[in-house]
Amino acid sequence: MNHRSLAIRAALLTIALSPLCAWAAGTATIATDGESNTMSWLDSNTIRFDMPSTDGGYMISRDGKAYVVYPDAAGGMPPVIEIGNMMQGFAEVANSDEGGKTSPLAMRITSIKATGKKETVAGIDGDVYELTTADKQGKSQTTQAVFTADPLVVEMTAAYLAMSKAMVGAEMIAEFTNALPNNKRGLLRLGDDMVVQSIAADTPAASAFELPAKPVNMHDMMKQLMKQSQ
pLDDT digit string, tens, across residues 167-224: 777 776 677 677 778 889 899 999 988 999 999 999 999 999 999 999 988 766 666 6
pLDDT number for residue 106: 57
Question: Could you tell me the strand order of the sheet in which 124-134 lies?
Answer: 108-121, 124-134, 140-148, 186-190, 194-200, 26-32, 35-43, 46-50, 58-62, 65-69, 80-82, 216-217
- Look over the chain and give the mean of its residue pLDDT values, rounded to a whole number: 79
Q: At CA 136, angle to CA 133 and CA 140, rounded to 5?
A: 30
CA–chain centroid gap for 83, Å, is 14
18 pLDDT tier (thresholds 50, 70, 90): very low
> Is-contact 84 217, C-beta < 8 A?
yes
What distance in Å separates the CA atoms of residue 211 and residue 194, rounded to the nearest whole number?
27
pLDDT number for residue 15: 46
Domain spans of the chain?
A: 3-102+152-177+196-229
92 pLDDT tier (thresholds 50, 70, 90): low
Q: Is 118 helix (H, G, I), strand (E, B) or coil?
A: strand
Which residue, 182, 208, 191, is CA-closest to 17? 182
What distance in Å separates the CA atoms of residue 114 and residue 116, rounded to the nearest whole number?
6
24 pLDDT tier (thresholds 50, 70, 90): confident
Pairing state between β 80-82 and 216-217: parallel
pLDDT number for residue 208: 96
